[in-house]
Structure 1
Amino acid sequence: MPQLDVAGARLTYDDEGPRDGGGVPLVFVHGWTANRHRWDHQVAHFAERRRVVRLDLRGHGESGGAGVRTIGELARDVVALLDHLGIERCVLVGHSMGGMIAQTVALEHPERVERMVLVNSIGRMAYNRARGLLMAVSALVPFKVFVATNIRRAFAPGYPREEVRRYIRDSADTPREVVMTLYGAMRGFDVLDRAGQIRTPTLMVHGYHDVQLPVGQMLWLATAYPDATVRVLDAGHELPVEKPAELTAVLDAFVTGRN
């Protein structure tokens, strides 16, 4: 598998699909404690006819590197990968924290993003009572309990328990420093007041049952965007794996200009 050394980290990535035709490349960015395989269904679909890139963010999956402190640092890693691959413009797709990274890239490098897709993502953290309580005790509970609690809440009721347990195991493999530091970075993430600067056509897809980042927070962000399309699906926070076919269909319609 290809890797790129950037700013003290070795990033693992996939670069698939034809180089010519089919439009600009799609670049997929996963969320907190996840890895690039969250996008398996979407990549398999789009790589048949266009270039598709996905990476493990530093400290996640098969990428090395720790010490990351901000969403901006992760955004710079994505831009470094685009530079390395010679990709001048792309459709940037981000899930959850990956959507925060995508918005940061769009604000700092608008010329690089032709279209953007935010999956279960928001522009500013807002907290209900349950989320606030979880945050308050996060430093007091064992690390694996903290991770397991967050991942269980990410899936809508009825999702297979064994699959949830598998994702919990994967997430718990992420180094504690990376998990906790980026949890704090997401808490402080706020681009809502600058969202009107993002002129890139943007699709916001959200799970109706998302309790991690409730759909109302996404709608709040959508009102700030000059050019936003909204789709709400019957799922929780983990749309790429809870409803892979439905999400892929919505993405396909957007990137091909059919909606």
Structure 2
Amino acid sequence: MNRWLPPLLSALLAAPLAALAATPSYGPNLEGFEYPHEVGTFEFRSQGKDVRMAYMDVAPRGTPNGRTVVALHGKNFCGASWEDSIAALTGAGYRVVAPDQIGFCKSTKPDGYQYSFHQLAANTAALLDELGVEDHVVMGHSMGGMLATRYALLYPQRVERLVMVNPIGLEDWLAKGVPYISVGDWYAGQLKVTREGIKNYQLTTYYNGEWRPEFDRWVDMSAGMFNGPGKETVAWHSALTFDMIVTQPVYHEFHRLQVPTLLIIGEHDNTAIGKHLVSEEQRKALGDYRAMARDVAGRIPDVTLHLYPDLAHSPQVQDPARFHADLIRLLD
């Protein structure tokens, strides 16, 4: 840095360089990021394409209880994000299967793929057939909650219990006034994703303004894909799945669920897809998890609502000991 520059200007110029250096670079299929357990690959044909679905299939530790939990990740998450949950559940005797959905993380991102929650649910069912998993708990977090809902609607005979952890989709954003934007517009926005932006979003939405060093691993996981050699591919498929989320609401179908459901909510969550597209006044009506949790619980025929007044979008990461003790107790 030029020693003649004023100190404040020197600091401002150095900051972006330091941030760039701190951002890892992973491949478009998250090559270079280590998962907590061995990653298997399920190869199959979907929409006329050869695809590979990455997954972890983790056996119970200690005495098996004969039950399986299928853990579905969110939009900005991966199967690896369930690391603490896998440890807690397998320690309690559960088998855990945690896939990366097609289009996400270590799985294939095929050209010309038509994303839908129906398709992702069918892919998940095919994986479980391959692994010989029959009756099971399906647990979804964030976008995974929308997918788990669709899965339970399509395959109720397979689902022992549906667990949703701070799912998105507890409201219909387009019906609430969020304007539709094209995949191209989503793509342009995703190309601008930075590590700093990801961390700031997680700080305010996932962790209620409280940061701990262990959270950086999940920032790096996401930021590394957007900083790697396949960042255009990652951004494009991220845009396609944003379009899927906003145009395929499950909110109007919660009353159709036929399986026992556990709805776990950190009430400080404020996630609402597209809220950056509306006015500040309109924004106040979006992402109110305190109100939405109670509304949706009233729509589901057989539901247990478990609330955390002090936690936010990722209670299983923010307070893992308390969350997992409650989860295992509620599952039992």
* TM-score interval (norm. to shorter): 0.7 to 0.9
Match of 1:2 in 2: 40
Question: 2:238 aligned with 1:179, yes or no?
Answer: yes
The residue type equivalent to 1:43 in the other structure is I
Alignment equivalent of 2:135, drawn from 89, 111, 117:
89
Partner Cα separation in structure 2 for residue 142 and residue 12 of structure 1: 23
Partner Cα separation in structure 2 for residue 155 and residue 122 of structure 1: 12
Deviation at 1:32, TM superposition (A): 0.2
Deviation at 1:51, TM superposition (A): 1.2
The residue type equivalent to 1:65 in the other structure is K
Deviation at 1:140, TM superposition (A): 5.6
How do 1:174-213 and structure 2 match up within 5 A? 175-212=234-271, 213=287
Question: 2:292 aligned with 1:217, yes or no?
Answer: yes
The residue type equivalent to 1:30 in the other structure is H
Alignment equivalent of 1:154, drawn from 202, 205, 209:
205
Are the aligned partners of 1:30 and 1:38 in contact in 2 as well (CA < 8 Å)?
yes
Match of 2:58 in 1: 16
Alignment equivalent of 2:192, drawn from 117, 138, 144:
144
Deviation at 1:166, TM superposition (A): 4.3
TM-score by length of 1: 0.86
Are the aligned partners of 2:173 and 2:246 in contact in 1 as well (CA < 8 Å)?
no
CA displacement, residues 40-91 of structure 1 (integer Å, 9 cap, x when unaligned): 1111111131211111112222222333521222111111111111111100
Distance 1:26 1:170, change over 3 A: same
Match of 1:241 in 2: 317
Match of 2:126 in 1: 80
Question: 2:279 aligned with 1:231, yes or no?
Answer: no
Match of 1:58 in 2: 102
The residue type equivalent to 2:193 in the other structure is V
Deviation at 1:164, TM superposition (A): 5.3
Question: 2:158 aligned with 1:112, yes or no?
Answer: yes
Q: Give the SS at the match of 1:33.
A: coil
Deviation at 1:169, TM superposition (A): 3.5
The residue type equivalent to 1:143 in the other structure is L
Partner Cα separation in structure 1 for residue 315 and residue 180 of structure 2: 22
CA displacement, residues 137-160 of structure 1 (integer Å, 9 cap, x when unaligned): 856646333863654543233332
Are the aligned partners of 2:78 and 2:105 in contact in 1 as well (CA < 8 Å)?
yes
Distance 1:51 1:156, change over 3 A: closer
The residue type equivalent to 1:93 in the other structure is M
The residue type equivalent to 1:200 in the other structure is V
Distance 1:150 1:160, change over 3 A: closer
Alignment equivalent of 2:148, drawn from 57, 77, 102:
102
Distance 1:142 1:29, change over 3 A: closer
Structure 1 gap ranges (5+): none
Are the aligned partners of 1:35 and 1:60 in contact in 2 as well (CA < 8 Å)?
yes
How do 1:124-143 and structure 2 match up within 5 A? 124-127=170-173, 132=178, 141=189, 143=191
Partner Cα separation in structure 2 for residue 142 and residue 87 of structure 1: 36
Match of 1:35 in 2: 78
Distance 1:122 1:217, change over 3 A: farther
CA displacement, residues 198-239 of structure 1 (integer Å, 9 cap, x when unaligned): 121111111111010431223222111011111111222122
Partner Cα separation in structure 1 for residue 120 and residue 268 of structure 2: 28
Single out whichever of 60-69 and 109-118 deviates more from structure 2.
60-69
State the 4+ residue runs in structure 1 displaced beyond 6 angstroms.
133-137
Give the fraction of aligned pairs with identical amino acids, expressed as a percent.
29
Q: Give the SS at the match of 1:232.
A: strand
Deviation at 1:11, TM superposition (A): 1.1
- Answer with 1 or 2: which has the greater Rg: 2
Q: Give the SS at the match of 1:144.
A: coil
TM-score by length of 2: 0.68
